[in-house]
Amino acid sequence: MTSATVFRRFNQYCKENDAPGLVLADQWPCDNGFGFLESCQQGGIQYKLGEKVSLPMIYGYAQISDNSTTLMSVADIILGAFRYCINERNKTIVNTTLMPKIARLMWYTNENGNRKLRNRGLNISPREIQVQKYKKEYDALIDHIVEYANKS
């Protein structure tokens, strides 16, 4: 998933919650770094096929330097726990302990008392999977995540 996609989804989150956002990004060599952030602020995202998307709910962008905040370490720990729950699906006690805590940090809607994460805090790419073999694998993975995200 590209930074443009993440920023676009974050802008949508901010809009739905009627709250401005601030992007604090770790250093990355892709997307032209500072130039990309500048273009997002000044006019939005320009896609290769000509589509332009503004990000009016994101009020600012910053790229941090190494070791300047512990937020990136926290993000790494959360992503590591999420990765563990995905890769070790048979570890039910760990999944039951970690996944609900991780899911509370994700963007979700509440549907009949359950967190609905897909196309919110849990985004897959491409959104529509055409090959049945892979679609079944993705559906099983998402079912696993949602099942454990809703345990408490």
> Which residues, other chains included, contact 101 with Cβ-Cβ below 8 Å and sequence gap of 6+?
none
Single residue among 63, 82, 109 that ends a domain in this structure: 63
Single residue among 63, 82, 97 that ends a domain in this structure: 63
Its domain, for residue 87, covers: 71-149
Query: Which residues face 38 on adjacent strands?
Result: none
58 and 84 in a common domain: no
Give pTM, 2 decimals. Answer: 0.77
84 and 52 in a common domain: no
122 and 54 in a common domain: no
48 and 94 in a common domain: no
Buried b (16+ CB within 10 A) or exposed e, 95-122: beebbeebbeeebbeeeeeebbbeebbb
45 and 97 in a common domain: no
Give the pLDDT confidence score for residue 136 in this predicted structure: 94
131 and 88 in a common domain: yes
Give the pLDDT confidence score for residue 37 in this predicted structure: 87
- The total number of structural domains that make up the chain: 2
SS3 17: coil
81 and 39 in a common domain: no
Single residue among 26, 42, 63 that ends a domain in this structure: 63
79 and 47 in a common domain: no
86 and 48 in a common domain: no
Using alpha carbons only, how large is the chain's radius of gyration in Å?
Answer: 17
113 and 80 in a common domain: yes
Give the pLDDT confidence score for residue 10 in this predicted structure: 93
79 and 31 in a common domain: no
84 and 128 in a common domain: yes
pLDDT truncated to tens, each residue of the chain (152 aa)? 578 888 999 999 999 999 999 998 877 666 677 888 888 899 898 888 888 999 999 999 988 877 777 887 888 899 999 999 999 888 899 989 999 999 999 989 888 888 888 888 888 888 889 999 999 999 999 999 999 999 87
Look at the chain and count its residues.
Answer: 152
